[in-house]
Amino acid sequence: ENSEPADLDFELVATGGISGTVAIGKIGMEIQLVYLSGTSFSANTNSSGAYEISNVPVGTYDIVFIRGGTVYG
C-alpha cells in the first residue's frame, strides 16, 4: 500500500454549445461551413440552415459562414 499522495495535474474547462439558423429574411439557407473564427470548432448546416457546434469552451467568438467560396462574417 502506498501512503504517499499522488500528484494530479488537470484543468476544468466549462463548455457549452452554439446553435442557430443561417437565414436570409425568414428563409433558412444551406451553408457549406459555419465556424468560430480562430478555432477548430465548425459545423455544416442542414438543408434548412440549422447548425450546432458542441463542446465549445465558454468565451466570446466571431461566427463565420462560408457558402460557395464566399466568406460571411
Per-residue pLDDT of the chain (73 residues; tens, 9 = 90+): 656 766 767 777 789 999 998 887 777 777 788 999 999 999 998 988 899 999 999 889 999 988 888 888 8
Query: Residue 25 region, left (φ>0) first, then alpha (ψ -120 to 50), else beta?
Result: left
Is this structure's pTM higher than 0.85? no
Element (H, E) at 24: strand 23-24
